Structure 1
Amino acid sequence: MKTKYTIISSLALGILVFSCKAQHSSIIADDALLVKVDSTYSFTEGPASDKDGNVYFTDQPNDKIIKWHANDNSLSIFKEPSGRANGLYFDHDGNLLAAADENNELWRIDSNGNVDTLLTSFEDKKLNGPNDIWVDLKGGIYFTDPYYQREYWTRTKAEISEKNVYYISPDGKEVSIIASGFVQPNGIIGTPDGKTLYVADIGDKKTYAYTIQPNGTLTGKKLFTNMGSDGMTIDNKGNIYLTGDGVTVFNKKGEQIHHIPINENWTANITFGGKDQNILFITAMGAIYTLKMNVKGVRY
């Protein structure tokens, strides 16, 4: 189901606002507005919300991490250069994890912007290019590692032929391939109870659900939907949000329940932010959008 949007106000504040009628769906707030907060970037990606509801996102071509301030809708540069960061996620200590694509690394960034490089290779081979990240209840880190050739790389092929999902143990001492057999794994998100992990294989136009075992390993691979995704998120009702052609929402059974069209050629990623975690924050091409929801994001 697609929702129609109409421009109702705008340019005096430099913000485009669209009316949103949530037809036959209760996930979007009544009379919600799809707000284009800014469109001055080259390609936005990787939104991640901190404990106060502020959202950090990347402008990878311009090598920046930007902070959206939830209290006043303002924007500021958090880190520049940013290692060509792509996907982001906060760990349980408030550090920002970043898929630092420039040198195919995984970074941990503290609140002052100081970087600790967590990982740059696996079994003495350079990672393909960490893309998206999720942190489990114990602090273990899952990340997807597809291969997208970048113009700023000197190499022209992957050292690791497989495109895998990896897991870093909570103590940071062990790194393992946790799932494999993908064409191009990309979006990743887990349920708040820590029992299910969703992985999108955008290269094969499929999204899978796995059962998370106590030691972090995955079992019971099941097809969730015949749709891949760039980035993804989850709400407190267990609905899964996939991106690409706007935002497509599925319930936990894998049934599509809503579609949010975005007037951009590509919608890359999505998260929940705001003080009450009820603001859907969307990155699409060179723009960022917000939409007020009836559902909320989940925090540990």
Structure 2
Amino acid sequence: MLTDWFEVKDPRFTALVFENVHVEKLWSGARWTEGPAYVAAGKYLLFSDIPNDRIMRFDETNGAVSVFETPCGFQNGRTVDPEGRVVACEHGGRRVSRREHDGSITELASSYKGKRLNSPNDVVVRSDGSIWFTDPTYGIDSDYEGHKADSEIGASYVYRIDADGGDLTAVATDFAKPNGLAFSLDEKQLYISDTGLSHDPAGPHHIRVFDIAENGRELTNGRVFATCDAGVFDGFRLDCLGNVWASAGDGVHCFAPDGTLLGKIRIPEAVANVEFGGLNRNRLFITATQSLYSVYVRVNGARNLARHVG
């Protein structure tokens, strides 16, 4: 029998989780945790405590959690690019930035057609070096997770930055609040969550999937992949089989590539994001409201080039 941490919706889920493994609570003390990114070279996880304007660091070698940086521009989502550099979304700076190997910060995008971005939320890097990110208004809606301001663009888009740091283009303009995003294993598709329910009781609370055009610059054929039955899907990751592990109000929801809900990992706090890490990328880190959790699973995190960090 599986432990009480797991809820099986489809028999296939039992092949992805262990019967005798429990979810571990690694740390608590944040206001809203987000943006987990595992840095394989250092065996540590970076994650955000957005309202407290700090980046936290979990050291996998000894279990210690410490403040990595504060203030940090109210950082939210982040990822590690193929060169091992951390690319981050800043609510406060209203920009996407990259930490270079020497510790310096490079600004990658802060405006679109002469208007300031809203508050970049989550980001992924494709193997061709292009950077894709979402830009809802959460960081400018109030002074809690950034600095209150009006949206200069007047909408929430999904953007793409050229690999050479050149053009910034809007690749999706019909979202209410675009949020988490991830590439399919072959990078021919892009999954994007819409958390518009946060601002509208009738708003979207689903993940859509798009085909990426052969030129690698455009999204086509958008359709709903899965709808959340407990709050909204915020951040999510794929495993090496193409299953989608998505954050939700009652824990982590796991979907098969065909959109079937396979099962849930129950977490006693609303989950914001997840990340596969550890030596074999079989440890699922979970950022949930005030706390950081983890659980070992039978499947490994995706190792496509855009997510491969070691």
**Same fold by TM-score greater than 0.5:** yes
2: CA distance, partners of 1:205 / 1:87: 19
Q: For 2:257, what is the secondary structure of its paired residue?
A: coil
Give deviations 1:171-213, integer Å, cap 9, x for gaps: 1111100111111111111123211100011111121111112
1: CA distance, partners of 2:302 / 2:93: 31
2: CA distance, partners of 1:83 / 1:255: 38
- Is 1:96 aligned to residue 78 of structure 2? no
Which amino acid in the other structure matches residue 48 of structure 1?
A: A
2: CA distance, partners of 1:73 / 1:91: 25
Query: For residue 13 of structure 1, what is the aligned residue in structure 2?
Result: none
Query: For residue 142 of structure 2, what is the aligned residue in structure 1?
Result: 150
Q: TM-score, normalised by structure 1?
A: 0.89
2: CA distance, partners of 1:188 / 1:3: 30
**1:55-74 counterparts in 2 under 5 A?**
55-74=45-64
- CA RMSD, Structure 1 to Structure 2 (Å): 1.9
Query: For residue 131 of structure 2, what is the aligned residue in structure 1?
Result: 141
Q: Is the 8 A contact 1:70 1:275 kept in 2?
A: no
1: CA distance, partners of 2:58 / 2:8: 25
For the structure 1 residues 294 and 168, does the alpha-carbon distance in structure 2 shift closer, same or farther, using more than 3 Å as the test? same
Query: For residue 202 of structure 1, what is the aligned residue in structure 2?
Result: 195
Query: For residue 219 of structure 1, what is the aligned residue in structure 2?
Result: 220
2: CA distance, partners of 1:3 / 1:255: 22
Q: Is the 8 A contact 1:146 1:185 kept in 2?
A: yes
Query: For residue 201 of structure 2, what is the aligned residue in structure 1?
Result: none
Deviation at 1:156, TM superposition (A): 3.3
Q: Is the 8 A contact 2:75 2:90 kept in 1?
A: yes
Deviation at 1:108, TM superposition (A): 0.4
Give deviations 1:146-172, integer Å, cap 9, x for gaps: 112131655532111121100001111
Query: For residue 12 of structure 1, what is the aligned residue in structure 2?
Result: none
2: CA distance, partners of 1:278 / 1:3: 18
2: CA distance, partners of 1:115 / 1:177: 24
Bigger shift: residues 23-32 or 103-112? 23-32
- Is 1:50 aligned to residue 23 of structure 2? no
2: CA distance, partners of 1:284 / 1:147: 21
Query: For residue 154 of structure 2, what is the aligned residue in structure 1?
Result: 161
Q: Unaligned 5+ residue runs, structure 2?
A: 197-203, 306-310
1: CA distance, partners of 2:287 / 2:171: 28
Deviation at 1:21, TM superposition (A): 8.5
